[in-house]
Structure 1
Amino acid sequence: MRRLAALMLLFLGLATPPARADVLYVLNSGDAEIMVLDATTRQEIRRIGVLREAHHLVWAPDRSVLLIGDSGGNEMLFVQPATGEVLRRERISNPYHMEFSPDGKHLVVTSLRRNQVDIYAWNGTDLALRARLRMPDKPSHLAFRPDSKIVYVTLQGSRAMAAISLETQLPLWQMEVGREPAGVIWHNDRLLVGIMGSDHVAVVNPETRAVERTIFTGRGAHALFVGPNQGPVYVTSRVDSRITALDPTTLQMTQSWVVPGGPDCLTFDPEGRIWATLRWSGRVGVLDPETGAQESFRIGRSPHGILYVPVRPTAAAPRTASATR
């Protein structure tokens, strides 16, 4: 009778449902699986098997669904963010890294293994392939111009970056930026590129096509993420196992932390803590940038993409971050 009464109260809106925990997604590329965890207890909520290798994930523009790429299995998973339920799977050619254009009209997918960049139209629910461009040697990460007219793609095997028009869906130009360029973001009218084969971030002027500056961050400079509230630019350096914070205005280094295990991708929780996949140690690290306190926990082999999904209501709106994933 008590259970029936509670259900009736909930139905009538007179009772509060149990709080739902924040969710953490971790893509274990070496285990062919996606782990969905309770972010507070670190307990497993769900484990999603993939065909081969999941590397990156991205929010749909309206944040109603997550798209997770199984690059080795040539499949895209559409997942309900709060629960980890797989809504559907679609055949997509080698989805390694992917991002939606700022206007939400296109999803661009890089294919590291097949040397191609695919441009898909997005209508809010479905993808439709509009163009497939053959690119030289390992197209890796990507970033958009804010007006959604151009996408920039790093080419790891060619020491280069390419610009592609989303209006004509054709390449515009290519320039050399450094050995094994990887992560890239648009920041204050410049492109910031992690030079993985070296130890720095290249600051590129896309109008003049010149590297204007290099910023030392550590060997294996890989991916870049803009912190909450347009805060610091964080750079992961996998070889030196380091996370570096750059001032968002001057790009001067403000802090640097040794984070053992090869930090790769980052995500942020509502308190501003950094959650990092530690690629070489099979762990997830948690770093408080205010105090420098660190912890880590075991997850799986070769964890790559990671995303913190706030589900619990909070007193203040959660701080969000734009990032390469």
Structure 2
Amino acid sequence: MTTRRAGPVATLLVLPAAAAALAGCGGHTSTHEAATSGPRPKAATVARRPARPVARPVLRLVRARRLPGPVQLPAVAAGPAGVLAIGGLDAADASSSDILRVAPARPRLVGRLPDAIHDAAAAALGPATFVFGGGGAGGPSDAILRVDRSGATTPAGRLPAGASDITAATIGRTAYLAGGDAPAGALRTIVAFTPGRPAHVVGRLPRPLRYAAVAAVDGALIIAGGTSGPSARREVLRFDPASGRVRQIGRLPAPTTHAAAATLGGRVYVLGGRGDAPSSQRDTILAIDPATGRVRRAGRLPRAVSDLAAATAGSRIVVAGGRDATGSVLDELWWLAASSTATRSSPARAPTAGVYAHATARDISPAVRGDPARVYVPDSEADRVDVISQRTGRVIRSIPVGRQPQHVTPSWDLRTLWVSNDLGNSLTPIDPRTGHVGRPVPVTDPYNLYFTPDGRRAIVVAEARRELDFRSPHTMRLRHALKVPGCRGVDHMDDTADGRYALVSCEFAARMIVVDLRRERVVRTILLRPGSMPQDVKVSPDGRTFYVADMASGGVWLIDARTWRRLRLQPTGRGAHGLYPSRDSRWLYVSNREEGSISVISFATRRPVAKWQLPGGGSPDMGGVSADGRVLWLTGRYNAEVYAISTRSGRLLRRIPVGAGPHGAAVWPQPGRYSIGHTGILR
């Protein structure tokens, strides 16, 4: 074996390997992603005085559940009866009258409003929750409703003017409402309401404001961002009820609207939101110091989302619903908790994770935390899946499946591993936690499997039929068959950073196609040079460049993710096939199947820095990286084996005998919030 570490003058040595027959992806062959720590960089030689650690709380996801249905812009408040989510807009943009208790127990319907509304505000006052205004069929409402523990509603008063797009927070026994939208135009008022007394104006904002993020802390109201006129704002305002004064105390990093806010540990957290563009959603969590107005980053949401709602429940923040960049309404419910992370007071190096920021070794989802560490290897010749223990490196089980299994794919929600039985015309579900094998689901020609980033559709790659079949993600019922007749050998794909488009390889047509995932149609074709055989596809961490393995050209194509322009071919080795980003997003591992090697490309320079040769040769194909990022697992497509390779040194750790046709193996569990398919593309 020849191993090269990364270095400024690293020499790349390509050792000759026994020639293997050039074959494609499926019964053919294919491959995909993974990640890990990569070649160790040179140690710094200049000693520096260590900076003083500073405890800066960040918010992390500690639990996730599903709402009964998708909802955006609900009114949310936490009271003695739990956290209620009231009204909102559903997936069809229709107003809702539902009153849901979403915490602490599982979400359930507890009552209904007299009328369906959205963009209302809610606040807990004493034993009840109060709902203010909201938009409905008759326009903005001025109603104030009391919701008791049972979910029953009674009238409790009127606002000074009908208003929607409002936000509220509670200080003592009084709820304060900031801004909003009225029939006469946006409002700049701050309204106070105490049960048993009329609602009245107690302050004025510097300008009319809608969709601001509002929370109460230390007896004051913090108002961040929002929309004034057509534009999002970035001011952080503080309202003191005692004086009635509103003053600016800080600025957000960027104009932000349609965000949520909640208070925890004496800080106000601004969650998600967007800019002026309807598809500019963010996953940022910002912490505001109410005393100084200083704003800093304090974590990331599981996905970029706006039009969400949040409330503080004990030591956690509960986040409900929202809308993502594709326009899809979410049915997700998240619990966020603070954890003190020691950071350096000196500036830290900017993170490189980008697209893969939520797939680092520390980002194991609660949904998979108890799943045993296994490698699931489909054997296309014996119609089975061999299960390898990552700890012992031994096959511990063989699962009979349908005819010619090609890939094992994690479902979008990370709860199921789907085995695509290409010639068996079925998908076999496996529960990775219990090992239970479910009844096969009939599906025509499932060579590969992907999911849209919002989880609303599964995409079955029907290679022989030259189709991308958009299906329901759980039942696999066909919704739309997208014909791609010019894409012979449709095989692999990856999505743009915003999840709007997918770049798809056409193995036997020397081209790529771009699919609009929202409209489910092909919008562009990218020609490669004649004779090319594009295989796996992977987007760079910064979302700017797609890497496409080309088995016939012995390298990786670089394609601009914005202009879709073909940039250049980067040589790696014969039979370049699978692409796997490291856990820290610094390196891209390329399996060169025909020469038995793995090339390591730096994402920073877009050039190779090392090549790892398998001792005795091999045919490294598909697989993934262990959750801790230390081991790259790959099938030996033509050698009836699986390789475990150290991502630190490139050393071959294990060579495990399996069946004659090992193909698209899945390494499980994997870090990440959701899967977009193949053998485990998690984000």
**TM superposition score category, shorter chain reference:** 0.7 to 0.9
Structure 2 partner of 1:219:
574
- Once the 2 structures are TM-superposed, how far is the Cα of residue 20 of structure 1 from its aligned partner? 8.2
SS in 2 for 1:81: coil
Structure 2 partner of 1:26:
377
1:46-102 alpha-carbon deviations (Å, 9 max, x no partner) = 322123111112212221111121111111111101343212310111111222222
Structure 1 partner of 2:641:
283
SS in 2 for 1:286: strand
Question: CA 1:198–1:20 in structure 2 vs 1: closer, same or farther (change >3 Å)?
Answer: closer
1:113-142 alpha-carbon deviations (Å, 9 max, x no partner) = 2221111233xx333322112222111111
Aligned AA (2:634): A
2:407–2:678: 8 Å Cα contact kept in structure 1? no
CA distance in 2, matches of 1:266, 1:244: 15
Structure 2 partner of 1:209:
564
Question: TM-score scaled to structure 2, two decimals?
Answer: 0.42
Higher normalized helix content (fraction of residues): 1
CA distance in 2, matches of 1:20, 1:144: 27
CA distance in 1, matches of 2:420, 2:385: 11
- Once the 2 structures are TM-superposed, how far is the Cα of residue 229 of structure 1 from its aligned partner? 2.9
Query: Does structure 1 residue 308 correspond to structure 2 residue 656?
Result: no
- Once the 2 structures are TM-superposed, how far is the Cα of residue 320 of structure 1 from its aligned partner? 6.4
Structure 2 partner of 1:117:
468
1:189-204 aligned at under 5 Å gives the runs 189-204=544-559
Structure 2 partner of 1:73:
424
1:65-214 aligned at under 5 Å gives the runs 65-122=416-473, 125-135=474-484, 136=486, 137-178=488-529, 179-187=532-540, 188-214=543-569
Question: CA 1:20–1:64 in structure 2 vs 1: closer, same or farther (change >3 Å)?
Answer: closer
SS in 1 for 2:584: helix
Higher RCO, 1 vs 2 (CA within 8 Å, ≥6 residues apart): 2
Question: Which 4+ stretches in 1 moved above 4 angstroms?
Answer: 318-324
CA distance in 1, matches of 2:497, 2:472: 17
- Once the 2 structures are TM-superposed, how far is the Cα of residue 148 of structure 1 from its aligned partner? 2.5
2:428–2:437: 8 Å Cα contact kept in structure 1? yes
Select the structure of larger CA radius of gyration.
Answer: 2
Structure 1 partner of 2:24:
none
2:538–2:547: 8 Å Cα contact kept in structure 1? yes
Aligned AA (1:181): P
* Higher mean displacement: 127-136 or 234-243: 127-136
Question: CA 1:160–1:108 in structure 2 vs 1: closer, same or farther (change >3 Å)?
Answer: same
Aligned AA (1:157): F
Structure 2 partner of 1:16:
none
Structure 2 partner of 1:49:
400
- Once the 2 structures are TM-superposed, how far is the Cα of residue 243 of structure 1 from its aligned partner? 0.8
C-alpha RMSD over aligned residues: 2.2
CA distance in 1, matches of 2:655, 2:667: 15
Structure 2 partner of 1:230:
585
1:205–1:212: 8 Å Cα contact kept in structure 2? yes
- Once the 2 structures are TM-superposed, how far is the Cα of residue 226 of structure 1 from its aligned partner? 1.2
Aligned AA (1:236): S
1:50–1:70: 8 Å Cα contact kept in structure 2? yes
* Higher mean displacement: 92-101 or 276-285: 92-101
CA distance in 1, matches of 2:372, 2:468: 37
Q: Which runs of 5+ in 2 are unaligned?
A: 1-369
SS in 2 for 1:56: strand
Structure 2 partner of 1:37:
388
1:175-199 alpha-carbon deviations (Å, 9 max, x no partner) = 1124111111122222111111111
Question: CA 1:42–1:156 in structure 2 vs 1: closer, same or farther (change >3 Å)?
Answer: same
Question: CA 1:319–1:90 in structure 2 vs 1: closer, same or farther (change >3 Å)?
Answer: closer
CA distance in 1, matches of 2:559, 2:400: 39
Structure 2 partner of 1:10:
none
Aligned AA (1:265): M
CA distance in 1, matches of 2:475, 2:582: 30
Aligned length: 298
Question: TM-score scaled to structure 1, two decimals?
Answer: 0.85
Identical aligned residues as a percent: 24
